[in-house]
Amino acid sequence: MYYLTADIGLAYLSHWQRQVADLICHLERAAAPIAFEIHAPKVLEATAFWQGQKRMVIHLVNCTPLFTLDTRGYTSTGSPDASMEMAPLSDIFITIKKGQVKRVTLPLSGKTLSVTKEKFAIPTVGHGEVVVVEFV
């Protein structure tokens, strides 16, 4: 499973030397085979874990509110409530690299997604979403 921890992920997003960021990603990829790839804006954080051998749960968190805070933790409107500045993200694509997908569901919204060649799209992520991938 491919997973960037928050600290390494933040370093990748903010580091000014591209070679260091590329090295971090290379080391992470070499540590374990990739279970899935996600194509989304950098402000979407994804973590995953396995429930047994035939079920993977992916948590998606929209971090756009965090990028609107100033150094004191306030939004541009002066409010400490970052949820006011959330921008929904759309057209997030996930490709499963390990195993054959049987079904993909979004339990928070109760939707079942269509899967084509181990690829599927999440239509919209507000503050967050949970994706359950079941394997054959």
Tens of pLDDT along the chain (136 residues) come to 445 555 555 655 665 677 777 787 788 778 877 889 999 988 899 999 999 999 999 999 988 766 555 555 555 555 555 445 678 898 899 999 988 999 999 999 899 999 999 999 999 998 899 999 999 9
The CATH code belonging to domain 35-135 is 2.60.40.1180
Tokens matching residue 115:
């899967």
**Domain edges within the chain:** 1-33, 35-135
92, β-bridge pairs: 122
Spatial contact of 59 and 38, defined as CB atoms under 8 Å apart: no
- C-alpha 19/C-alpha 78 separation (Å) is 37
